[in-house]
Amino acid sequence: MTTSILTADKDWWRGAVIYQIYPRSFQDSNGDGIGDLKGITARLGHVASLGADAIWISPFFTSPMRDFGYDVSDYCDVDPIFGTLSDFDALIAEAHRLGIRVMIDLVMSHTSSDHPWFKESKVSRDNPKADWYVWADAKPDGTPPNNWLSIFGGSAWQWDPGRMQYFLHNFLTTQPDLNLHNPEVQNALLDATRFWLKRGVDGFRLDTINFYFHDRQLRDNPALAPERRNANTAPAVNPYNFQEHLYDKNQPENLAFLKRFRAVLDEFPAIAAVGEVGDSQRGLEIVGEYTSGGDKMHMCYAFEFLAPERPTPVSVAEVLHAFAAAAPEGWACWAFSNHDVVRHVSRWGAGIEDTDAFAKLYAALLMSLRGSVCIYEGEELALPEAEIAFEDLQDPYGIEFWPAFKGRDGCRTPMVWEGSAAQGGFSTAAKTWLPVPDAHLSRAVDRQQDAKGSVMEHYRTFIAFRKQHAALIKGAIRFLPVTGNMVSFTRTHGEETLLCLFNMGEAMERQPLPPGDWSVLSGHGLTGNLEGATVELPAWGGLIARLV
């Protein structure tokens, strides 16, 4: 029996640092070349040493793995690739012993076509689960019911010859959309939620949270003017960006379901949930709706900081101001990288000479913004995006749009633990599910462990610094006028006010201090100087001071 050192703090999520684990790529315990739950358990000490408050584990449920776990065929079991329910219970116990909370990824907008629910649903139009998915008749000419598009390319409708109807799929054709207008579907999903809560999880990340409901009238989406298109939700080569997605997602009925979901969470102590809002036009507005009132999501994130364009001091302030305006009652969860986008060291840092300094600066900035934080595995090592040959690709998204869009495999390669070990210490297999890039080995955990000035030690240092200052965890934020490439803001909580200054450029920046008696703080790993009333920051430098 293990003993948990966690307390039943219902507010633990507010300002938490959450470490995302992609289970296929974290640690392989049985030599099959694929990461698993036992591997995660064995490496939790690394997460604890970073100082993270929680882990978010991407899906490990039973699945045919056509979309690597985001196509669920059994919500209440572990896929044999990853282990067993007993392995999951052991993971929970070890995480709690180390003081780490566990959040898991719930995929409730769609299932796998292999799910028993869908197999029954497609048999006929009058079986008990006939209305559990989104079915519609063809137009008189046999074409799909409307113009909705799939994020993975092409129409969002797939013909089923058995029912002689189309079914909706916002992603792969093998990922049919559930019909959450049906209360029985909602109940089944809430039952699955309770199943994992009873096993001891501390919260959930909700995949594609704004896709749960569709327009009952199946109205066509209008075209989107070219100047309003962006590539935040889908890559630029995808015609999905050509539509304004008014009717295939973002429906008002979702608010009532999220209240039902929150009520289930509130049956258990100290549970939290974060929702992924995938929408390029109304993302922050939807975040505001979903986090308002204290009876829906605890927090959500949109795609502003997962975008291809590198943030600037002006854009950082604009995003935070827009969030505050859209979600005055809400709480954000910010991330710069995850399993779906090019790693931000490559996405924003291409051509930068001092990659380590760049990575450290952005880590400090991320963890100084108002909100909770998600760190993606390997981010603390400043891993660059991997180059994957077409013949090694696994991601159906990349295979579909190659070579204009190379898919998501480049950010999903195995974690590197030991620079001199075969497969970077990830696996004893001769071949892993994705190759371990040679370029990553020099950045392995053992190469950066206790190495003065390493990116990993900077993450540890700054997370520890953050925990010492309530202003950085829960404080209000106020931006100062932008000067050059320097972003400046204060964080205030109770009697503590901190001034945070970050140079987001490659040249020295100088800026006068705002009025007040400021004392420069140490222990955060940033480089910067205070000369009289002037702040001097080198390229990718920063400074944090306290109002005395």
Per residue in 282-293, pLDDT tens?
A: 999 999 999 999
Residue 187 backbone dihedrals phi, psi, to 5 degrees: -60, -40
pLDDT at 284: 92
pLDDT at 3: 60
Give the chain's domain count: 2
Say yes or no to pLDDT of 136 above 90.
Answer: yes
Say yes or no to pLDDT of 443 above 90.
Answer: yes
* Res. 84 pLDDT band, cuts 50 70 90: very high
Q: How far is CA 431 from CA 18, 80, 414, 426, 511, in A?
A: 30, 19, 11, 11, 52
Pairing mode of beta strands 54-57, 17-21: parallel
- Look at residues 422, 442, 466 and tell me which one is the last residue of a structural domain: 466
Least Cα distance to 60 among 74, 48, 47 occurs for 74
- Look at residues 415, 443, 466 and tell me which one is the last residue of a structural domain: 466
Say yes or no to pLDDT of 503 above 60.
Answer: yes
Residue 356 tokens, joined: 């380590």
What is the per-residue pLDDT across 171-181, written as a single tens digit (0 to 9) for each? Answer: 999 999 999 99
| Mean pLDDT, all residues of the chain | 96
CATH number of residue 534's parent domain: 2.60.40.1180
201-224: b (≥16 Cβ within 10 Å) or e: bbbbbbbbbbbbbbbeebeebeeb
pLDDT at 64: 98
pLDDT at 426: 98
Residue 38 backbone dihedrals phi, psi, to 5 degrees: -60, -35
Which residue type, as a one-letter code, is found at position 421? A
Distance CA 443, CA 449 (A): 10
Q: Give the active site residue among 53, 94, 207, 279.
A: 207
Distance CA 85, CA 164 (A): 39
* Res. 457 pLDDT band, cuts 50 70 90: very high
* 406 in any annotated domain: yes
Say yes or no to pLDDT of 2 above 80.
Answer: no
Q: Give the active site residue among 9, 266, 267, 309.
A: 267
- One domain for residues 506 and 532: yes
Least Cα distance to 480 among 472, 490, 471 occurs for 490
* Res. 242 pLDDT band, cuts 50 70 90: very high
- One domain for residues 533 and 416: no
What is the per-residue pLDDT across 346-404, written as a single tens digit (0 to 9) for each? Answer: 999 999 999 999 999 999 999 999 999 999 999 999 999 999 999 999 999 999 999 99
* 435 in any annotated domain: yes
* 269 in any annotated domain: yes
What is the per-residue pLDDT across 465-476, written as a single tens digit (0 to 9) for each? Answer: 999 999 999 999
* 116 in any annotated domain: no
pLDDT at 59: 98
- One domain for residues 327 and 195: yes
Distance CA 290, CA 293 (A): 9
**Full domain range(s) for residue 529:** 474-547
* 428 in any annotated domain: yes
| Residue 77 is among the residues annotated as catalytic for this protein | no
- One domain for residues 348 and 444: yes
* 69 in any annotated domain: yes
CATH number of residue 352's parent domain: 3.20.20.80
Query: Residues 420-449: what's their mean pLDDT?
Result: 98
* 59 in any annotated domain: yes
Query: Residues 267-294: what's their mean pLDDT?
Result: 94
pLDDT at 232: 73
| Residue 207 is among the residues annotated as catalytic for this protein | yes
Say yes or no to pLDDT of 5 above 90.
Answer: no
pTM, two decimals, is: 0.97
Query: Residues 197-213: what's their mean pLDDT?
Result: 98
For the chain, what percent of residues have pLDDT higher than 70?
99
Q: Return the higher-pLDDT residue of 514 and 169.
A: 169
Residues near 71 by Cβ (< 8 Å), separated by ≥ 6?
63, 64, 65, 107, 110, 111, 112, 113, 114, 172, 174, 175
Residue 518 backbone dihedrals phi, psi, to 5 degrees: -105, 135
Residue in the block written with tokens 């049956």: 267
Distance CA 128, CA 120 (A): 8
Say yes or no to pLDDT of 498 above 80.
Answer: yes
Would you say how long the chain is, in residues? 548
- One domain for residues 63 and 209: yes
Distance CA 536, CA 521 (A): 15
pLDDT at 228: 87
pLDDT at 1: 44
441-459: b (≥16 Cβ within 10 Å) or e: bebbbebbeeeeebbbbbb
Type and span of the H or E element at 530: strand 529-531
Neighbours of 259 (CB within 10 A): 12
Residue in the block written with tokens 């390229």: 539
Q: How far is CA 344 from CA 276, 339, 369, in A?
A: 18, 11, 17
Residues near 294 by Cβ (< 8 Å), separated by ≥ 6?
329
DSSP 209: G
- Look at residues 466, 494, 518 and tell me which one is the last residue of a structural domain: 466
Which residue type, as a one-letter code, is found at position 460? R
What is the per-residue pLDDT across 98-108, written as a single tens digit (0 to 9) for each? Answer: 999 999 999 99
